Amino acid sequence: MRIVLVHPAGSNWVPGKKDVTATANRMAPLGLLSIAAYLEHEGHEVFVHDCLGPKAPGSNETNAGIIIGYNPHLVGFSATTSGFLDGYDLATRVKTVRPQIKIVFGGVHISAMGSVLLDQFEHIDYLCMGEGETTLAELASGEDPALISGLVWRDQEESVANPGRPHIPDLDDLPFPSYEKLNHFPTGYTLPLFSYILSPGATMVTSRGCPYQCSFCDRSVFKRDYRYNSAEYVYEHMRYLKERFGVRHINIYDDLFTAHRSRITELCGLLIDKPLGMQFNCAVRAGHCDDELLEMLKSAGFLQLSLGIETGDSELMKTHKPGVDLDEVRDTVKRIQEKGLRAKGLFMMGLPGDTRESIQKTSDFAISLGLDDMNMSKFTPFYGAPVWASIFEEGIFDYDWRKMNCLNFVFIPKGIGSKDELDQLYNRHVKRFYTDPDWRRRFRKRTWEHRRSIIYFLRHLPTFLAAKRNFEPEKN
């Protein structure tokens, strides 16, 4: 079967502003690339169309034409909440021209919401719930939809949800993602600026699932069942990226990359004994980073470790990220940097329960940690997250899927007067971090290390200046 897998552009910025997200950080759609590799291994002809890829057309009309031009039998869309409606618009355009083409949607938004989407969106033929590799392979092979686990389908006018599909038990059975199906990979796919020294860069995921349950995290696809690739598989995956594509830096986007200690010990041993000439970034959990682990990561070529901190208010931490406390965060950041690694803090603003006072605490805490970098996302409630059950009682919620991308405030907690106030607080405290004299001093010391990011920044200066206008000083 001929299949096209599509990553819709979606709504990835602030309404009314030029979308600069892909310029600042364009990630390969790893989920689609994994499914593409699996389907190809099963004997199907597969194409990947990334609507956020470098030089991708800006209009859905043109993108739909490209998809149809592959003459597919099946088109699969992987959609986030903010990208779903854009993907559906593409699907509608495809169906209008070629009604015989079957349309399937998968991804976290689909897995969270389920059959209601099939009831409401007539041009979708199937929903893929959870992991997509095996489900799509069975669908593409012509299996009776009624017999495919993890599939939601139409029987006449009724939507039918089949039993869920068990998770793939051994992730090492999966082929490496089909990176080669992306145009201009890897040079057209950029890591966050100033997060790397070597280039080009790429991204990897080496595990699925997470046993923890933060209030804001949607676990609809992989649940809390933690599975991972072996150390040898991860090493060979890294080597493949280096030898096949010339990749020299990898961002590992696992939720819990270091959770299985023996795996990391073995992987670091491989990277130390057989160096690849690469550097790596990953995320770690506060309180779960002993000195021996940090020393291994440093010796293996790791450059930056990210910590999900979220808030500097201890009471909000208990609610939204149980099991982590502020003292553990301080200690973990301190020891990361003492081992010669960079520490990046990941925060959220606008959480249920947030007030001007708690936001000030978060800002003060971020400054006090002496971080090398930080990211402040705008809290977005997602359907499959634990916080969803009470979200309408916790504040004002603009339930607009297109804006639900962590780049817009769609939720205003009771302790904040308005969206304008929350936007002003966000702009003020993000600017405060990056204008802090101590942070600027640390940044200047790394000017030569950052030269590739600086060159990229200057090359795209007009785009970044457009983004900067979103952080202009607020008018009082």
Which CA distances in Å does 410 have to 80, 330, 380, 399? 16, 31, 7, 7
pLDDT of res. 63: 97
CA 121/CA 131 separation, integer angstroms: 22
What average pLDDT does the chain have?
A: 93
Residue 156 pLDDT level (bands cut at 50, 70, 90): confident
330 and 250 in a single domain? The answer is yes
- Cβ count within 10 A of residue 327: 11
197: CATH? 3.20.20.70
Residue 185 inside a domain? The answer is: no
Residue 427 pLDDT level (bands cut at 50, 70, 90): very high
Bridge partners, 396 (sequence order): 412
Residue 184 inside a domain? The answer is: no
Instruction: Please give the structure tokens belonging to residue 313.
Output: 């208010």
Last residue of a domain, one of 161, 181, 215: 161
pLDDT of res. 15: 66
Q: What is the pLDDT of residues 114-145, one digit of tens each?
A: 999 999 999 999 999 999 999 999 999 999 99
Residue 21 pLDDT level (bands cut at 50, 70, 90): confident
More confident site: 365 or 470: 365
Residue 166 inside a domain? The answer is: no
25: CATH? 3.40.50.280
At residue 282, the 3 state secondary structure works out as: strand
CA 274/CA 142 separation, integer angstroms: 44
199 and 136 in a single domain? The answer is no
Last residue of a domain, one of 161, 179, 207: 161
Question: Which residue range forms the structural domain that includes residue 133?
Answer: 2-161
Residue 28 has pLDDT above 90, yes or no: yes
pLDDT of res. 4: 98
245 and 107 in a single domain? The answer is no
Residue 113 inside a domain? The answer is: yes
140 and 272 in a single domain? The answer is no
Residue 172 inside a domain? The answer is: no
323 and 275 in a single domain? The answer is yes
387 and 293 in a single domain? The answer is yes
157 and 56 in a single domain? The answer is yes
Q: What is the pLDDT of residues 191-238, one digit of tens each?
A: 999 999 999 999 999 999 887 879 998 877 766 688 999 999 999 999
385 and 276 in a single domain? The answer is yes
Residue 183 inside a domain? The answer is: no
CA 409/CA 406 separation, integer angstroms: 7
Residue 287 pLDDT level (bands cut at 50, 70, 90): confident
195 and 115 in a single domain? The answer is no
Question: 375, 456, 9, 447: which is closest to 200 by C-alpha?
Answer: 456
273 and 327 in a single domain? The answer is yes
Residue 71 inside a domain? The answer is: yes
Q: How many H helices and E strands in the chain?
A: 18, 17
147 and 230 in a single domain? The answer is no
Residue 154 inside a domain? The answer is: yes
Task: Tell me if the pTM is above 0.85.
Answer: yes
The whole-number average pLDDT for the span 16-22 is: 69
Residue reference for tokens 């470790």: 305
Q: Which residues contact 195 (CB under 8 A, 6 or more apart)?
A: 251, 281, 304, 344, 373, 453
Per the document, the length of the chain is 476
CA 184/CA 312 separation, integer angstroms: 40
- Cβ count within 10 A of residue 409: 25
230 and 365 in a single domain? The answer is yes
CB 161 within 8 A of CB 142: no
Last residue of a domain, one of 142, 161, 180: 161
Name the domain count of the chain.
2
CB 181 within 8 A of CB 47: yes
The whole-number average pLDDT for the span 330-341 is: 97
pLDDT of res. 472: 58
Residue 476 pLDDT level (bands cut at 50, 70, 90): very low
pLDDT of res. 18: 63
CA 204/CA 251 separation, integer angstroms: 6
Q: Give DSSP secondary structure letters for 9-57.
A: ----S-TTS---HHHH-----HHHHHHHHHHHHTT-EEEEEETTSTT--
